[in-house]
Amino acid sequence: MKSILITGGAGFIGSHLVRLFVKKYPDYQIVNLDKLTYAGNLMNLKDIEQSANYVFEKGDIVDSELVNKLFEKYAFDSVIHLAAETHVDRSISDPLSFVKTNVLGTFNLLNAARMHWKDSTGKLFYHVSTDEVYGALKLGEDTLFTEHTPYDPRSPYSAAKASSDHFVRAYWHTYDLPVVLSNCSNNYGSYQFPEKLIPLFINNIKNNKALPVYGDGLYTRDWLWVEDHARAIDVVFHKGKQGETYNIGGHNEWTNMDLVHLLCDTADQELGRAAGTARASITFVKDRPGHDRRYAIDASKIEKDLGWTPSIRFEEGLLETVKWYLNNEAWLDNVTSGAYQDYYTKQYT
Ligand code: NAD
Ligand code: TYD
C-alpha cells in the first residue's frame, strides 16, 4: 500500500484533494497532517473521515521533530504539500506566520524526505504553489504567466511561497530529491474560508452586509474551479515529470467588478430577491497595499504534456458555488461562529 502524506488537508483545496484521493485510490493510505489553524476545518472531511485508507494527524509542519516522527511512523512514499498560510491580507498584518509555515515548514518537510528517502525510487515530493510568485501582469495586456516567467513576488504571502518553491528546486538540484511543482491561479468552490473574495461576498450578500471592493475594482484574477485543481494535482502527481513545474489555470480572467456583478446577480436570483439588490451593497474601500493588478496563467504545458483541461465554465461553477454556500448554512454558521474549531476535540479526542 502506497503511503501518502498530504499536508493542509483540512483546508479548502486540501480537503478536496484528500476526498478525491481517499475515494479514487483505496490502495493508498492517505495521512492528512494539519495544524488546524483558523483555516483548517475537519468538518470539510466529514463524509470521508471514517474511510479505512484515511488517517488524520493534528500537527504543525514547523515542528521538525513531529514531522520526522511521522515519516518514521508511516514510511511515506510521497508528500503532497499544501499546508500554508494563504491569505494575502493576513500576510500584510502578520508576515512572520507566513515565513514560519510557508518557508520553515516546507524546509522541514524537505529535510525529512531527504533523510528518510535513502533510496528515492518510487518517491515524490510535490509542492502545491501559487501563480502569485510571478508578480503582477499589466491590465489590458494579453501577456500570461508561463513556467519561465521570472519570479517577482510582491506580498509577504507570495514572497514566502516563492521562497518555498526555490527550496524545493534547490533540493532537486542539490540532493536529487525527486520533486515536482505546480503553480495555480485563484481557486473557487465549496469549503473555502469566507475571508477570500467569493465566499466572503456570498456570506455578506446572504446577511445583507456591505461588499467591500478594494480600490477601483479593476484588479483581475484567473479563476479555477477547485475540483479542477484537485484533478490537476492528481494528474501532475501521477504523470508529471520529476524536476518540472506545471502552471494550472482556467483561461478565465475576470476583473473583480465584473465578477462581483455576476456574483450579485446570481445570488439575488437564488435568494429570490429583486434584481439589483446585492449590487446596491457594493462599497469601494481603501486598496490593499501592494495589490497585484492582474494574474493570468498560460496552462498549455499541463494541457499538452499531461492532457488536463478545466471541466466547467465559470458561470456554471459560480452558480454551483453560490448554491453550495446558501444550501450549506450549517457549515457557514459553524465557520462564522467559530464552532468548527471544537469539532476536532469532540470527534477525535
Ligand atoms: P487554506 O488556507 O484553505 O488551508 C491551509 C491549510 O493548511 C489549513 O487546513 C491549515 O490548518 C493548514 N496549515 C496552516 N499552517 C499549518 C502548519 N504550520 N502546519 C500544518 N498545517 C497548517 O489554503 P488553500 O486555499 O486550500 O491553499 C492550499 C495550498 O494551495 C496553499 O499552499 C496555497 O498556497 C496553494 N494555492 C492556493 C490557491 C487558492 O486560490 N486558494 C491557489 C493556488 C495555490
Ligand atoms: P482574494 O480572494 O484575497 O485572493 P488573492 O488576493 O490571493 O488573489 O482576493 C481576490 C481579489 O479580490 C483580489 O484582487 C483582492 C480582491 N478583494 C476585494 O476587492 N475585497 C475583498 O474583501 C477581498 C477579500 C478581496
Are 153 and 182 contacting, i.e. CB atoms less than 8 angstroms apart?
Answer: no
Are 14 and 191 contacting, i.e. CB atoms less than 8 angstroms apart?
Answer: no
| Ligand 1 neighbour 91 (Cβ under 6 A) | no
- Residue 75: CATH number of its domain: 3.40.50.720
Concerning whether 157 is annotated as a catalytic residue, the answer is yes
Report the amino acid identity of residue 76: F
Q: Please choose, from the candidates 212, 196, 198, 207, the residue with its C-alpha nearest in 3D space to the C-alpha of residue 277.
A: 207
Strands (E), the chain: 2-7, 28-34, 54-58, 78-81, 124-130, 179-184, 187-188, 211-214, 220-222, 224-225, 245-248, 253-255, 282-285
Q: What is the pLDDT of residue 52?
A: 98
- Which atom of ligand 2 lies nearest, measured to the CA of 220? 14
The Å distance, Cα 82 to ligand 1 centre, comes to: 5
Are 255 and 219 contacting, i.e. CB atoms less than 8 angstroms apart?
Answer: yes
The Å distance, Cα 83 to ligand 1 centre, comes to: 5
Determine, yes or no, domain membership for 288: no
Q: What is the pLDDT of residue 349?
A: 86
Q: What is the pLDDT of residue 288?
A: 98
Best residue among 5, 6, 12, 252 to mutate for probing ligand 1's pocket (most ligand atoms within 8 Å of CB) is 12
| Ligand 1 neighbour 35 (Cβ under 6 A) | yes
Which one from 131, 268, 292, 298 is the annotated catalytic residue? 131
Rounded Cα distance between 42 and 50, Å, is 12
If DSSP codes are grouped into helix, strand and coil, which group holds residue 52? Answer: coil
Rounded Cα distance between 277 and 267, Å, is 10
Q: Please give the tally of structural domains in the chain.
A: 1
Are 222 and 143 contacting, i.e. CB atoms less than 8 angstroms apart?
Answer: no
Determine, yes or no, domain membership for 194: no
Domain limits for position 235: 2-188+223-249+296-313
Determine, yes or no, domain membership for 268: no
Determine, yes or no, domain membership for 9: yes
Determine, yes or no, domain membership for 118: yes
Q: What is the pLDDT of residue 178?
A: 98
Concerning whether 340 is annotated as a catalytic residue, the answer is no
The single-letter DSSP state of residue 109 is H
Rounded Cα distance between 59 and 63, Å, is 8
Are 225 and 312 contacting, i.e. CB atoms less than 8 angstroms apart?
Answer: yes
Q: Please choose, from the candidates 233, 152, 165, 190, the residue with its C-alpha nearest in 3D space to the C-alpha of residue 45.
A: 190
Determine, yes or no, domain membership for 97: yes
Q: What is the pLDDT of residue 239?
A: 98
- Ligand 2, atom 12, residue with closest C-alpha: 197
Determine, yes or no, domain membership for 103: yes
One digit per residue, pLDDT tens: the chain, 349 residues?
A: 899 999 999 999 999 999 999 999 999 999 999 999 999 999 999 999 999 999 999 999 999 999 999 999 999 999 999 999 999 999 999 999 999 999 999 999 999 999 999 999 999 999 999 999 999 999 989 999 999 999 999 999 999 999 999 999 999 999 999 999 999 999 999 999 999 999 999 999 999 999 999 999 999 999 999 999 999 999 999 999 999 999 999 899 999 999 999 999 999 999 999 999 999 999 999 999 999 999 999 999 999 999 999 999 999 999 999 999 999 999 999 999 999 999 999 999 8
Q: Among all ligands shown, which has an atom nearest to the Cα of 221?
A: 2
Concerning whether 141 is annotated as a catalytic residue, the answer is no
- The cell for 161 is 511561497
Q: How many residues does the chain have?
A: 349
| Ligand 2 neighbour 186 (Cβ under 6 A) | yes
If DSSP codes are grouped into helix, strand and coil, which group holds residue 322? Answer: helix
This prediction has a pTM of 0.99
Determine, yes or no, domain membership for 276: no
Are 307 and 169 contacting, i.e. CB atoms less than 8 angstroms apart?
Answer: no
